Structure 1
Amino acid sequence: MKIFIQSLLMIMSFFLTQTYAASFDCNHAKTSTEHAICESLAVNDADVKMATTYKIVNKLVPMGTRSVIRDEQVKWLAMRDRCGKAEACLNEVYKMRQQQLDIYLQRIYKKGPF
């Protein structure tokens, strides 16, 4: 019985704890935008996907293109931060950035095989 109760408590704590995996440490979120990202599962997922795609693209493109992509990312981050806590705005800017990064990925794929 004791094992059953311990197992039940462990399962319940798993479901009660918000454990999102933003591309940054949510414990160190400073801006209202960062807090909004950490509080919304959908935006959080978009953040992780975009950050992962960004890292992949940044490693696979030629050096000249990397600086373009980094400059775009800096501009995009400023635009994202203007959303504040507005989840709809955040969803839209993440969608837009993901589409831009996906275009770079398609260009990389066309140059394959790897």
Structure 2
Amino acid sequence: MENNEPNLDAVFHALADPTRRAVLQALVKGEATVSDLAAPHDMGLPAFMKHLSVLEAAGLVKSDKVGRVRTCALDPATMIATERWFEEQRAFWQGRYAQLDDLVAALQGEKK
């Protein structure tokens, strides 16, 4: 994988958990403090921080600490690179399905 490509294993691991997906959805609206992000979830702050560290390790979220307040924001570069990977996969499979459609049409034409 090239250096500008995301670690897809880490991204998919991060996205596999509903709490982490909810955090990403909350951050789409803009930056938020850890306390604000943790509030809707029924877990202690240490457990929530583990979720944030998974998101940060995957490159999906970045955070900045000023005094005692940690503020989080989306890091769009990893999502853009992941989306590019999905687009490559989609293009590949669309081509394969088109070939399959052509084969089925040719086989049906032979039967008639």
Same fold (TM over 0.5): no
**Structure number with higher helix proportion:** 1
Larger radius of gyration: 2
**Structure number with higher strand proportion:** 2
- TM-score (normalised: structure 2): 0.31
- TM-score (normalised: structure 1): 0.31
